[in-house]
């Protein structure tokens, strides 16, 4: 996890969840260089623990992980924080499952590999959506 004491308050607090450690580490590094506060989790259980210990604006969640299915993690995340914006990230052949994620409250989904700019735009859109929902309350 990042050192939150050095993070500007207006930056996006993001949790990346994927069991492909190399992929998560590279992506976290690239997003961190673009001003995001990025935490990493390499399995569903670690993601749930991370969300219980601090607040995130957006979670980017892989669908297929060894310990838990991404849809199962999504449903628990939504129980923990209904306002949590979750972007599903899926590899080949699981777009139907990603669409199922939308039915369970995911903000959107992307397929791997995705362009960094596309992911950045989606994360920013999710943050704006979360802020707008919060402002309406």
Q: How far apart are the first and last CA of the chain?
A: 30
In 18-115, beta strands by DSSP E: 37-41, 58-62, 85-90, 108-111
Q: What is the DSSP letter of 35?
A: T
Q: Quick one: pLDDT at residue 75? A: 95
Distance CA 44, CA 46 (A): 5
- Domains parsed from the chain with CATH numbers: 12-136 (3.40.50.2300)
| Total Cβ atoms within 10 A of residue 75 | 14
Distance CA 29, CA 27 (A): 5
- Taking only the tens of pLDDT, the chain with its 137 residues reads 444 455 555 789 999 999 999 999 999 999 999 999 999 999 999 999 999 999 999 999 998 888 998 999 999 999 999 889 999 998 865 778 877 889 999 999 998 888 999 999 999 999 999 988 888 87
Q: Three-state SS for 2? A: coil
Burial of 103 (0-12, 13-18, 19+ CB in 10 A): exposed
What pTM does this model have?
0.90
């Amino acid at each position: 996890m990042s050192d939150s004491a050095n993070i500007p308050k207006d930056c996006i607090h993001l949790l990346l969840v994927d069991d492909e450690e190399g992929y998560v580490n590279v992506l976290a590094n690239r997003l961190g260089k673009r001003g995001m506060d990025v935490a990493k989790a390499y399995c569903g259980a670690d993601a749930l623990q991370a969300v219980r210990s601090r607040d995130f604006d957006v979670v980017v969640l892989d669908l297929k992980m060894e310990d838990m299915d991404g849809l199962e993690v999504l449903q628990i995340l939504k129980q923990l924080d209904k306002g949590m914006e979750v972007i599903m990230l899926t590899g080949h052949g699981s777009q139907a499952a990603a669409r199922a994620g939308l039915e369970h409250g995911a903000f959107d989904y992307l397929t791997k590999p995705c362009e960094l700019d596309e992911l950045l735009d989606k994360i920013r859109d999710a943050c704006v959506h979360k802020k707008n929902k919060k402002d309406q309350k």
